[in-house]
Amino acid sequence: MNKRKRNVPFFVCLFSANNRMLNDDSFIYLVLYVDDMLIAAKKKYDIQKLKGLLSAEFEMKDLGAARKILGMEIIRDRERRKLFLSQRSYIQKVLARFGMSSSNPIDTPSAANIHLTAMFAPQSEEEKKGTSDVGLIYGGDTQCLVTGYSDSDYAGDVDTRRSMTGYVFTLGGSVVSWKATLQPTVTLSTTEAEYMALTEAAKEGIWLKGL
């Protein structure tokens, strides 16, 4: 089994099958997190074949098509070829724990151009319920290209005068990686702030390309 798979560069928990296991241009990937496993392939036959090889060496339980992973709910729309990820089940479980399943969602209006901070994130269970149907949608775009964007402000933090780095990467038009954080040092110009943001984005882009 060890001769049939290899680690994908930059990500030790992701494995791919070598050409001796597959007969054509198919692909098969295995993602492992502790005792949870996801298998993706072009053909169902390849998935079943890999499951058979794994079962021959390890004691494992086949749960069928993935519906949840790491607290995320997986919803497939096969007709539209889209995949929806959300934490709806987790939020509903939290609401049930505190007896708030029947509570009404709360919308909190805010002024335009307001400076958002962590204190504006949903705090109450009612606010969290209003975001239970919010998630990420993947698929629908035939061009599977990785695209990255980076930006920064300049001395935006009023306490430290550090600038903010922000970047986002999409795959086929769907978000796969993002970050927004204060830069570690105080920059002396907008050019320097933008350069530091671009550097962080470039490092993330190199890692994504390595996958």
Q: Are residues 141 and 151 in contact, defined by beta-carbon separation less than 8 angstroms?
A: no
Name the residue type at position 164: M
Task: Write down the pLDDT at residue 129.
Answer: 60
Task: Write down the pLDDT at residue 2.
Answer: 53
Task: Write down the pLDDT at residue 165.
Answer: 97
- Tens of pLDDT, residue by residue, the chain (211 residues): 555 555 665 666 777 765 555 556 677 888 888 888 899 888 888 888 888 888 888 888 888 888 888 888 998 888 888 888 888 888 888 888 888 787 777 676 777 777 766 666 666 655 556 666 778 888 766 677 889 999 999 999 989 999 999 999 998 788 999 999 999 999 999 999 999 999 999 999 999 988 7
What is the C-alpha separation between 133 and 135, in angstroms, rounded?
A: 6
Task: Write down the pLDDT at residue 164.
Answer: 95
0.85 surpassed by pTM = no
CA 61 to chain centre: 25
**Residue 68, beta-bridge partner list:** 73
Characterize the bridge pairing of strands 82-86 and 135-139: antiparallel
Task: Write down the pLDDT at residue 161.
Answer: 95
What is the C-alpha separation between 171 and 205, in angstroms, rounded?
A: 12
Size of the chain, expressed as the number of residues it contains = 211
- Closest Cα partner for 140 from 200, 68, 97, 78? 78
Task: Write down the pLDDT at residue 30.
Answer: 87
User: Which 3 state secondary structure label does DSSP give 207?
Assistant: helix
What is the C-alpha separation between 169 and 174, in angstroms, rounded?
A: 8
User: How far are the Cα atoms of 31, 37, 100, 144, 176 from residue 77, in angstroms, in the given order?
Assistant: 22, 22, 30, 18, 19
What is the C-alpha separation between 176 and 170, in angstroms, rounded?
A: 5
Task: Write down the pLDDT at residue 155.
Answer: 95
Task: Write down the pLDDT at residue 87.
Answer: 85
